[in-house]
């Protein structure tokens, strides 16, 4: 699962009523840094703004709904801001005046977990799609995931019409034939700006001049990563005689882009996307990522500097405020449990944070024995968020999926390429969903001259005369949208009509989602060993311990989501 301003003036993000924009003055030197600050509870906006100014910062945008501001300042700002009683702290974002790398050095740093992209680099002809049976979508036979949650049966009576689903991700390809009919271009927004390089000079999103429009600002119907398009397709690809169908094939897809092309997700775009969702009648949002640069945000870990502790406290505070704001306005919050294959309820070691260089020389370091009571991954562990673990075709918890009794709320199909009798890789055991054409060409997945699929992890459907493309991915990023899709069906079935279509209280949606999930007991023995025979001939084993009873438990939470049961008794 999982990377803003290059000029001197902030650019409006299209959030009516929530962002107050201001000039960033002459914040253009290499010493100027972008920060996100959270105002302290009980402080007035005026006193917080004064504290920012006193610390040497200048506000370039302000989210007045949740008391969060984006600030440009010098490198000494964080320490001064953290010492102010009017501010929670400052989360450093990036150097504003970083140089653009040479075009020849553009390398996409895919931050998405390896389990989602491990098929890359494997060549060979793609599989030939089976012929459809009956009145189904052309590639429906490849969607074992939909059968697992009984979505086809549910769709006979409920398809999510009138429900808006927000995709907080890397973007959505609104032109894809299996997304376009349900894509809401009017409401969709892009809350990010491409980042050419990080503070160490390493390529992030790549040179802006290589973009189609030569700028760092992507349109709200663009996805140059593919992750968000895949997620959106799983939730709401329509029944239109093309490719596949989603869980809620008549729900509206609203692109609320919060992720970079490279797969990083930063604080400011996420909080702005969530507050936008709350203000614009979004019913469900899917969040298949964590907020960078910290996998786990700790407020008092001794290995962290005071500045880093304050930064992580700021991330926790700002994200929780945004989550609370959205949920209080009717947004059901769904998130991926994570692909680290760890128990989130136990002490852990984090050697991956910080994963983004926001200041020169910054690099990840080891933090041992993280206390789950004081260290949290956001937004997955945020209050009011439905955390989703992943399953494979056999319904076992996927080998990569994180887990934990009391952490996981429900499980859903996320794919498991090694969920077979002999533990060898099988692409078909992962999740098939939409693949942007331009990205497929760039990644060498299809021949642009002939349209032929060149890799075994992609599939084409040309039955309608126009080819559409799909890719296999696996991860809790793929599990979460299945649960979000079922949540959309619940809103469609039980929600009341309002100005935006349908609405249903998030607490009610969660109650139905969990109570109707198919209970799945821990394996016996509870210490379950995964065996994977990798393509290079090596064998990898790992053991995960499932705690709890039949339901809830650490692998499946309340159970595997069930679309049919969620909209009515069998």
Catalytic residues: 169, 227, 477
How far apart, in whole angstroms, are the C-alpha atoms of residue 565 and residue 150?
8
Facing residues of 376 across strands?
297
Tokens 């994570």 identify what position?
338
Which secondary structure element, helix H or strand E, spans residue 39, and what is its range?
A: strand 33-39
Contact 259, 497 (CB under 8 A): no
Distances (CA, A) of 491 to 19, 159, 416: 29, 10, 29
d(CA 358, CA 78): 13
| Residue 458, beta-bridge partner list | 471
Q: b/e map of 528-541 (b: 16 or more CB within 10 Å)?
A: bebebeeeeeeeee
Cβ atoms 403, 337 nearer than 8 A:
yes
> What are the structure tokens assigned to 76, written together?
């000494």
Query: CA of 230: how far to CAs of 3, 43, 220, 357, in Å?
Result: 17, 42, 16, 28
Is the Cβ–Cβ distance between 122 and 535 less than 8 Å?
yes
Q: Which of 158, 159, 162 is nearest to 503 (CA)?
A: 162
> The tokens of 287 are what?
């969040």
Q: Write phi, then psi, for 463 (nearest 5 degrees).
A: -65, -20
Question: Encoding tokens for residue 497?
Answer: 């009509």
> Is 438 buried (19+), middle (13-18) or exposed (0-12) by CB count in 10 A?
middle
Measured in whole angstroms, the distance separating CA 62 from the mean position of its chain's CA atoms is: 24
Residues 469 and 435: beta-carbon distance below 8 Å:
yes
> Minimal CA–CA distance to 54: which of 23, 19, 85?
85
Nearest residue to 250 (alpha-carbon basis) of 369, 165, 365, 371 = 165
């Amino acid at each position: 699962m999982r990377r803003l301003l290059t000029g001197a003036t902030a650019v409006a993000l299209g959030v009516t009523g929530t962002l107050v924009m201001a000039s960033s003055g002459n914040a253009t030197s290499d010493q100027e840094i972008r920060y996100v600050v959270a105002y302290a509870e009980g402080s007035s906006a005026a006193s917080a703004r004064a504290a920012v100014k006193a610390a040497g910062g200048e506000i370039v945008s302000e989210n007045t709904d949740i008391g969060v501001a984006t600030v440009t300042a010098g490198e000494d700002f964080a320490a001064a801001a953290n010492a102010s009683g009017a501010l929670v702290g400052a989360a450093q974002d990036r150097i504003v005046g970083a140089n653009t790398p040479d075009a020849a050095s553009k390398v996409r740093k895919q931050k998405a977990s390896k389990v989602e992209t491990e098929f890359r680099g494997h060549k060979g002809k793609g599989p030939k799609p089976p012929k459809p049976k009956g009145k189904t979508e052309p590639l429906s036979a490849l969607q074992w995931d939909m059968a697992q949650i009984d979505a086809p049966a549910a769709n006979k009576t409920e398809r999510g019409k009138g429900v808006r689903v927000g995709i907080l991700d890397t973007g959505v390809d609104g032109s894809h034939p299996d997304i376009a009919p349900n894509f809401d271009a009017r409401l969709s927004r892009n809350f990010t700006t491409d980042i050419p390089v990080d503070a160490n000079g390493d390529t992030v999103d790549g040179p802006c001049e290589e973009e189609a429009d030569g700028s760092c600002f992507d349109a709200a119907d663009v996805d140059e990563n593919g992750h968000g398009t895949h997620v959106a397709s799983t939730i709401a690809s329509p029944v239109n005689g093309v490719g596949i169908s989603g869980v809620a094939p008549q729900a509206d897809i609203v692109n609320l882009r919060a992720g970079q092309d490279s797969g990083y997700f930063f604080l400011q775009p996420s909080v702005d996307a969530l507050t936008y969702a709350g203000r614009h009648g979004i019913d469900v949002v899917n969040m298949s990522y964590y907020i960078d640069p910290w996998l786990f945000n700790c407020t008092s870990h001794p290995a962290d500097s005071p500045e880093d502790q304050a930064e992580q406290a700021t991330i926790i505070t700002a994200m929780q405020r945004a989550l609370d704001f959205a949920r209080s306005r009717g947004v059901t919050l769904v998130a991926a449990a994570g692909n680290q294959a760890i128990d989130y309820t136990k002490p852990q070691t984090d050697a991956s944070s910080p994963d983004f260089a926001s200041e020169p020389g910054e690099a990840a370091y080891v933090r041992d024995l993280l206390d789950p009571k004081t260290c949290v991954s956001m937004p997955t562990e945020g209050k009011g968020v439905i955390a989703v673990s992943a399953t494979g075709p056999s319904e076992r918890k996927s080998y990569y999926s994180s887990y934990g009794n009391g952490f996981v709320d429900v499980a859903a199909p996320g794919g498991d390429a090694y969920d077979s009798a002999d533990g060898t890789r099988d692409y078909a055991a992962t999740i098939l969903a939409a693949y942007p054409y331009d990205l497929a060409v760039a990644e060498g997945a299809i021949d642009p001259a002939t349209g032929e699929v060149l890799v075994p992890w992609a599939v084409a459907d040309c039955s309608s005369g126009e080819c559409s493309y799909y890719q296999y991915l696996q991860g809790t990023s793929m599990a979460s949208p299945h649960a979000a899709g079922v949540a959309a069906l619940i809103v469609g079935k039980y929600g009341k009509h309002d100005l935006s279509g349908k609405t249903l209280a998030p607490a009610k949606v969660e109650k139905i989602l969990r109570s109707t999930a198919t209970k799945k007991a821990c394996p016996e023995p509870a210490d379950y060993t995964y065996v994977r025979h990798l393509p290079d001939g090596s064998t990898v084993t790992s053991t995960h311990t499932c705690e709890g009873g039949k339901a809830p438990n650490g692998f499946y939470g309340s159970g595997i989501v069930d679309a049919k049961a969620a909209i009515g008794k069998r």
